[in-house]
Amino acid sequence: MHDGGWVQSRFLLDGGPSPRRFGRRLASGRLAGLEPGAAVVEATRLVGRVSAAGWADAAVSLPADPGFSFPALAQPIDGGPPRVLGRLVSRGPAPPGSAADPGALLFRWEAALPLPAGTNLAAHIHTGSGDRGLPRGLWLGDALLPG
């Protein structure tokens, strides 16, 4: 169903081609108007992006997949103006036994405007602008950004 460029679909089986990939498959493809790079969302949350589209289905990369990347904005949790982060690139899930929370994802931050040294920023992470098929403002999660 089309509604302003959006296509309603559902996930099929897991689509990860290897144990280090978490991708999924959608039950829609090029016939429904999907193109590689398109955002896959649930409400206002970024779930993934179409990595390849067939005629009737599509492969989706998830934020847990190493190499998943997107332009990002940070909205400080304690208020204040949003910050342009630049590009975040997934390194995948935090390894077991690490200091990160269980289920946390690790990202490489290609900073457009780094934080001042020695400061950390608790923030809501949203998609930024600049990538075709990825609307600005989709929520990804919360993070503590290092300075």
> Residue 7: what pLDDT?
76
> Residue 15: what pLDDT?
55
> Residue 16: what pLDDT?
55
> Residue 114: what pLDDT?
75
* Domains contained in the chain, CATH given: 2-61 (2.40.10.340), 69-146 (no CATH)
pLDDT tens-place string over residues 31-65? 998 999 999 998 899 999 999 999 999 999 999 99
pLDDT tens-digit profile, the chain (147 residues): 234 577 788 777 665 556 566 778 888 999 998 999 999 998 899 999 999 999 999 999 999 999 999 999 999 999 989 999 999 999 999 888 887 787 889 999 877 777 778 888 899 999 999 899 999 999 999 998 887
> Residue 18: what pLDDT?
60
Neighbours of 14 (CB within 10 A): 11
> Residue 124: what pLDDT?
96
pTM value is 0.82
Nearest to residue 6, comparing CAs of 37, 40, 29, 53? 40
Distance from C-alpha of 138 to C-alpha of 147, rounded to nearest angstrom: 24
> Residue 19: what pLDDT?
58
Distance from C-alpha of 7 to C-alpha of 100, rounded to nearest angstrom: 35
Distance from C-alpha of 128 to C-alpha of 116, rounded to nearest angstrom: 21
